[in-house]
Amino acid sequence: MRFRLEIRDRNFVTKEILDSEYMNLSWSYSRIGGCGEVSFELPRKRFEETAISGEFNVRIYYRDPSTNSYSLWYQGLIENKIPRLRGDSETIPFQGHGYQSQLSRVYLNNLTYNNTEISAIAAAIIGTYVNGVTDVTYDASLISTTTFTPSSISFNETALSAITKLADLVGGREWGVNQDRDFFFKARSSDISFRFIGGNKIIDFEDNQDFSKIANQIYVQGSQVGGTYHFFGPYNDVSSQSKYGVRTHIISNASVTSTDVGSQLATSYLSEFAEVSRRASCSLIDYNAQVEATVPIGLFVESGKKTKYGQKKYGQFLYSGLVSRIINRVNYVLTNNGALFVKLDLGQARPNLAESISQLEYELEQNRQAAL
């Protein structure tokens, strides 16, 4: 078998090596979170699975056919086992998740950091409060610095919620727990690493273009003074309006008191929503490489066999050329005859300007709270 399923106990002592017994093996990896869900079945009768219990370690290895050497592709822990009787057959399905799920077990009680850069906060949370209490390990080289240092930030929540908040503040992050159980917090890649021509290894491609969320005229409703709200705008994206008509959206933020800040918020919002939102899914066959072998994951490009797609309206191109997409999630399914199917959930990267909006809103709220 090209893939080996290995079970270890809570102390990571090997219990079983399953090269051919397992059935319906599938697992996932997400750009946000790292190693995700895993499931498999064993053709055993009830009570024959007592050697495999909850919280046991699950590892999936890939065997290189040219060298016969094994490389680790996935690591997680068992969360459910469901002995099942159907007619004359009995199987035992198992379900689990990557070690990112253990971050939700650690609670940060009234923890505050002042004038500390975001990645340093993430490293401190993992190194001080998560490492040693969970099975998540810590490697400083996997945490890349950011350009944002909040004046103050406090946490009364789980470590998972805190790391999510930090990643949302800085934008453009990939983070989670990888196949080595190492926590990572990386800047998103802008390099194209995956290029496919339609029909070559691609058995299905679906391009979802969502026009419902387009906004090209923005008003900003700010703070209330003497019963009257500060109101700024309109801020327009003329190019978008000429293609799709006027689509108005109102941003409400009680911290906005000046035209400059209102304009900054509106411009960030327009940079993300003035054009159509694009999502896609792609299914691959005979692709025997680990998509997330390098983190951050590179961008994905798909092109037609002979032509590059584009739309045209009244002489203006809505899209033309190749579209680079981020890979949000990778789903691996190994059939019982040994064929590996890979499904990719694809999205579009937020513009750099749009990703600054979370930092701006955070600092505005900090200033508003200080003035109370």
The residue assigned the tokens 């109101």 is: 231
- Say what the pLDDT of residue 360 is: 74
Residue 323 reports pLDDT greater than 50: yes
How sure is the predictor about 267, in pLDDT bands with cuts at 50, 70 and 90? confident
pLDDT at 150: 86
pLDDT at 318: 43
pLDDT of residue 192: 92
Mean pLDDT across the stretch 294-319? 62
79 pLDDT higher than 60: yes
Instruction: Compute the average pLDDT of residues 177-183.
Output: 97
For the ranges 172-181, 260-269, 311-320, which has the lowest average pLDDT? 311-320
Beta strands 32-42 and 173-177, pairing class: parallel
pLDDT at position 271 = 87
* Angle made by CA atoms 249, 251, 254, in degrees to the nearest 5: 160
CA distances from 193 to 204, 297, 324 (A): 20, 8, 10
Tokens of 166: 């930090």
Q: Which pLDDT band holds residue 314 (cuts at 50, 70, 90)?
A: very low
- The answer to whether 211 touches 244, Cβ cutoff 8 Å, is yes
d(Cα 253, Cα 361) in Å, to the nearest integer?
8
- How far apart (Å, rounded) are the C-alpha atoms in residues 178 and 61? 14
Q: SS3 for 165-213, per residue?
A: HHHHHHCCEEEEECCCCEEEEEECCCCEEEEEECCCCEEEEEEEEECCC
Those residues with Cβ within 8 angstroms of residue 23's Cβ, 6 or more apart along the chain or in another chain: 40, 41, 42, 43, 91, 336
Tokens of 241: 């309006």
Q: Say whether the peptide bond before residue 65 is cis (omega within 30 degrees of 0).
A: no
| pLDDT level of residue 370 (50, 70, 90 thresholds) | low
Dihedral pair phi/psi, residue 273, rounded to 5°: -110, 5
Q: What percent of the chain has pLDDT over 70?
A: 91
Q: Poorest-confidence range of 1-10, 142-151, 169-178, 256-265?
A: 256-265
Rg for the chain (alpha carbons), in Å? 24
Query: Cα–Cα distance between 161 and 109 in angstroms, integer?
Result: 12
Kindly give the interhelix angle for 357-371 and 159-170, rounded to the nearest 10 degrees.
110
Residue 54 has pLDDT above 60, yes or no: yes
Give the pLDDT of residue 84: 84
Cross-strand partners of 94: 40, 81
Q: How many residues does the chain have?
A: 372
Average pLDDT over the chain, rounded to an integer: 87
Pick 177 or 349 by higher pLDDT: 177
The tokens 């299914």 sit on which residue?
A: 283
Q: What are phi and psi of 72, to 5 degrees?
A: -80, 125
What average pLDDT does this structure show over 34-57?
A: 87
pLDDT at 364 over 80: no
Q: Let me know: does 108 contact 157? Beta carbons within 8 Å.
A: yes
Q: Can you give the pTM of this predicted structure? A: 0.84
- Residue 308 confidence (pLDDT): 45
- Whether the ω angle into residue 150 lies within 30 degrees of 0, i.e. cis, is no
What is residue 371's predicted lDDT score, i.e. its pLDDT? 64
In the predicted structure, residue 142 carries a pLDDT above the cut 90: yes
CA dist., res. 134 & res. 130, Å (int) = 6
How many helical (H) and strand (E) elements, i.e. helices and strands, does the chain have? 6, 24
Residue 291 DSSP label: G
